[in-house]
Amino acid sequence: MTDSSPAPRPIDIALLASVFVIAACGLLYELAAGALASYLLGDSILQFSTVIGTYLFAMGVGSWLSRYFERQLPAHFLRIELLVALVGGALPAILFIANAYLPSAFRVLLYGMVLLVGTLVGLEIPLVMRILKRNVQLKDLVSQVLTFDYLGALAVSLAFPLLLVPQLGLVRTGLLFGFMNAAVALWALWLFRRELRRLSAHALACAAVLAVLLAGLWGAEHITRFAEDKFYQDRIVLASTTPYQRIVVTQGRAGHRLYLNGNLQFAERDEYRYHEALVHPAMSAHGAPKRVAVLGGGDGMAVREILKYPSVEAITLVELDPAMTRLFGQNATLRRLNGDALASPKLAIVNQDAFQWLQAGDDTFDVIVVDFPDPTNFAIGKLYTNSFYALLEQRLAASGYAVIQTTSPLLARKSFWTVVATIESVGLTATPYHAHVPSFGEWGFVIASRRPWRLPQALPEGLRFLDVASLPLLFDFPLDMARVPAEVNRLSNQVLVHSYEQEWGHVSGH
């Protein structure tokens, strides 16, 4: 017995190929919205969850609405493709600009665009299936469409973090995939040219959308800089999007500033205060540290301070993002800021997740400097948990000290003392202190050790902020920064991320 199913027509094969592109583009817009939300709003799990949930809901709405499209299905499909191309392709650019010029409307615009794109994408597949239904049996139709749909989603889910964002950036990636959606519309125009009414009007619409997207692709860098210049105020001199973060370096009257995902990491005019306070209380108290590890701190500033100790024989810098160590190791201006510390023969750079690095090794260190960004999301929050500090304790030499940068004890008081409580929960002695850094305000640090911390009798020469006489003042906490009850931050609860968001959100709201 032979299969009675008709052989697939070229038009059917073309439509199935379109399904692949449609699925890839649809998921790309979803990922771009989630990534932008996590960059700009923090708490990546919350942002991705709400964006994905909103998007899937909108797709369901679109699928339900498809029942009202009864005639001229190819024409409807073509128009929807053009709308998806315009709205989805421009989504990252519009959101970047909105964040800079209309920050109060950002969330409304974000979810409004996600709802619109999701609804349009939800309309696409049902229309394709109904067009294919003319010549394909239902069982084959469903399996073929879903196969190409899932394959397109797989392709873009791998390409987005590994290739597209690092090489093109979010704005150019969105516009490129919008162009692909418009190309599908152009393809549909040719495939259904005998069925379409007002063919010239459809052709003109395709040409206009393609022209807009091509213009956007050509000017993508200008769009990004237009938005970021407003957001950062100072002139942007370096900008890079990596699989891990958006790196921006600006230059203004206060010198250079480094931002990661929009959050200030240092300002040239006062970074010496932060890095001297971070490094020297632990290093000087040790006496003669030989082996030192720096976790985070890919800018090399902490390494610069550590190299002021002649006793140091080896430094291991563990920085997740190779783009950071490459940028601060090769750019002449940034090398000047860190004193060319990343070129030191004493330094070994490891581009790896610090959590995994602690788990995998067994070397111990006299001093470990932990210089991570603040816990704005769960990916960073895991580096402030009791699980992380238990691993840190295993890598400390018996008389060693670890020091952790720990947000502001004044503006994020509960978050600061949460870190202290978490360090103590793994059996380490926690010695908190603080320093005033004008760019940040009052900033906190914690020394973690097995032996009590003692005030050093000497500090390296040439420091601009610290001296032995004033050092004890850093360890005195006035009433408005004094200890408050706080939970232990665990991998299973990540209470620190929640309290940090609440406290800093309250501050920014004023």
CA atoms of 43 and 77, how far apart (whole Å): 37
Which runs of E-coded beta strand occur in 243-391?
A: 246-252, 255-260, 263-267, 291-296, 314-318, 347-350, 365-371
Q: Please list, in sequence order, all residues whose beta carbon lies within 8 angstroms of the beta carbon of residue 468, skipping any fewer than 6 positions away.
A: 455, 456, 457, 458, 459
Phi, psi of 405 (to 5 degrees): -75, 140
Q: What residues form DSSP beta bridges with 348?
A: 316
Q: Specify the pairing of strand 246-252 against strand 235-241.
A: antiparallel
Q: Is 374 noted as a catalytic residue in this protein? A: no
Burial class (CB within 10 angstroms; exposed 0-12, middle 13-18, buried 19+) of 458: exposed
Listed residue (319, 377, 328, 371) closest to 348, CA to CA: 319
Burial readout 38-65 (b: 16 or more C-beta within 10 A, e: otherwise): bbbbbbbebbbebbbebbeebbeebbee
Neighbours of 360 (CB within 10 A): 9
CA atoms of 494 and 213, how far apart (whole Å): 42
Say which of 149, 321, 371, 374 is annotated catalytic. Answer: 371
Burial class (CB within 10 angstroms; exposed 0-12, middle 13-18, buried 19+) of 424: middle
The answer to whether 173 and 27 are in contact (CB under 8 A) is no
Question: Catalytic positions, please?
Answer: 371
